[in-house]
Amino acid sequence: MLLPKALKKGDTIGIIAPASPPNMKRLGKAIPFFTNFGLRVKVGKNIAKVSGYLAGTDEERLADFHEMIADEEVKAIIIARGGYGTPRLASSLNYDLIASHPKVIWGYSDITYLHVAIQQKAGLVTFHGPMPASDLASPDIEERTLASFSQLLRPTSLQYSENLSSLEVLRVGEASGKLVGGNLTLLTSTLGTPFEVDTAGKILFIEDVNESPYRIDSMLNQLKLSGKLAQAAGVAIGSFTQIKANSTSSYTLDEIFHHYLSDLPLPVMSGFEIGHCSPNIGIPLGVPATMNTQTKTLSMMPGVIEN
């Protein structure tokens, strides 16, 4: 895997919206977070445009992305928000350009499709983490959310343990492999496409928001039938928030996870505060990682190299 360079004081970050349009007032409130780090901020030319539920046309969003990748001054690309739209760009991205200009790419939710596609086609480590208009602009943002960005300033090995949140073991064991994944809905939507998520020998991370239990059931079933669960080395379950059953006869989320994951011949652990939650802890994707249910830890190698 390619590793982007760590950021240093005076570097420029680019903020773009490859999915839905951000609230520009919220985005403006988040920018001082980066300038206080000593970073400069460049905003995509088309970021304020709106085309239906998209932040401009596919061509405009794609242009912003490619411009930030090619811009030698820009050392990191921070996605303003998720929503919907990133998968529409996947087949038109210039992966050779991305591989020849490896830089930090940071976001989550709908950006999962971008993570998967870039890892598959360019081999670049990317970051699943809180976004400016979605998270950083919140007045009650958790310090642990903000602290996630420090991993971009120097090569840092991360260890998620019960010091951060309570973790539950669904299946015991220890496994090592590259960390892949993100939003469950987006991961499932890659199946059968040229960007199909590769879980073979990898630790699969999943999270989601605003989905009914039967929808989670359906998506896990699709991952099971496609072999993606059995092929994995381990499964780490992140935040599943605002999940509402449609009736009193619904299965609980714990029952669904137990049905699909507890009999797998690999370690499974839940409770990671990563995803649509607060705190929302950022992690590198594509790096070697180890999950150990005895110590209840998920250890990750650094996502950047020395500048």
d(CA 271, CA 160): 11
Neighbours of 25 (CB within 10 A): 9
Nearest to residue 77, comparing CAs of 118, 41, 116? Answer: 41
Neighbours of 224 (CB within 10 A): 15
What Cα–Cα distance (Å) separates residue 67 from each residue in 31, 135, 221, 269? 20, 25, 39, 39
Q: Do the Cβ atoms of 18 and 85 come closer than 8 Å?
A: yes
Neighbours of 225 (CB within 10 A): 10
The continuous run of DSSP H or E covering 70 comes out as helix 58-70
Give the catalytic positions in this structure: 109, 207, 276
Q: Do the Cβ atoms of 84 and 19 come closer than 8 Å?
A: yes
Tokens 């598959």: give the residue. 120
Strand order in the sheet with 158-160: 158-160, 297-300, 288-292, 174-183, 203-209, 234-241, 268-270, 168-171
